[in-house]
Amino acid sequence: MTKIRLGYLRKLIREELRVAASVNSSGINGAGKGLYADEDLEAGTVIFKWNPRVDGEYSPEYPNCLSSKESEEFKELASWDGHTWSLAGDGGAYFNHSKEPNVVVDKSDGNRPAKRKRIAARNIHQGEELTMDYSEIGLDSPC
């Protein structure tokens, strides 16, 4: 597998995430970090649009091919399921689960769930954490 350039990866992540947002400590119990709106968002606003150049799976050994700094940054951006590293360019590692999410999957675009746009389910205020229902994208809910 080709080594990714993290500066380029961060650019692609910004292309997928269609709104201004930042990662901060989450208010959700046990979540660690979360993704927060840096602007007011109207219901129906596209939050994320699939970018196949970013999302991918990487072998367990992949971080070992990177410098220590790049490896640390990669692990911060990627998810580990015990078998494979997955990289979600939508800040997906920071969308926390909620049974009452403010971001939902746009079911009108005909793609499979992982490739569908994510839209604001309602008006979202600046500073509010962006949440999703993991079951909408084929992941198990943590609760």
The CATH number of residue 47's host domain is: 2.170.270.10
Asked whether residue 142 is assigned to any structural domain, the reply reads no
Q: Which domain, by its residues, includes 14?
A: 6-137
Is 1 part of a structural domain of the chain? no
Q: Has residue 94 been placed in a domain?
A: yes
Q: Which alpha helices (DSSP H) does 28-129 contain, by range?
A: 68-77
d(CA 35, CA 114): 18
Residue 129 — very low, low, confident or very high, per pLDDT cuts 50/70/90? very high
Residues 27-71: tens digit of each pLDDT: 887 778 888 999 999 999 999 876 766 667 788 999 999 899 888
Q: pTM for the full model?
A: 0.67
Which two structure tokens, joined as six digits, stand for 102?
Answer: 């403010």
Written as one letter, the residue type at 129 is E
| Exposed / middle / buried, residue 67 (Cβ in 10 Å: 0-12, 13-18, 19+) | exposed
Q: Which has the closest alpha carbon to 36: 131, 133, 129?
A: 129
Instruction: Label residue 79 by pLDDT band (50, 70, 90).
Output: low
Query: In whole angstroms, what is the distance from residue 53 CA to residue 12 CA?
Result: 8
- Quick one: pLDDT band at residue 140, thresholds 50, 70, 90? very low
Count of domains observed in the chain: 1
Q: Is residue 18 part of a domain?
A: yes
CA atoms of 58 and 83, how far apart (whole Å): 9
Query: Does residue 143 fall inside a structural domain?
Result: no
The overall average pLDDT reported for the chain is: 78
How far does Cα 75 stand from its chain's mean position?
14
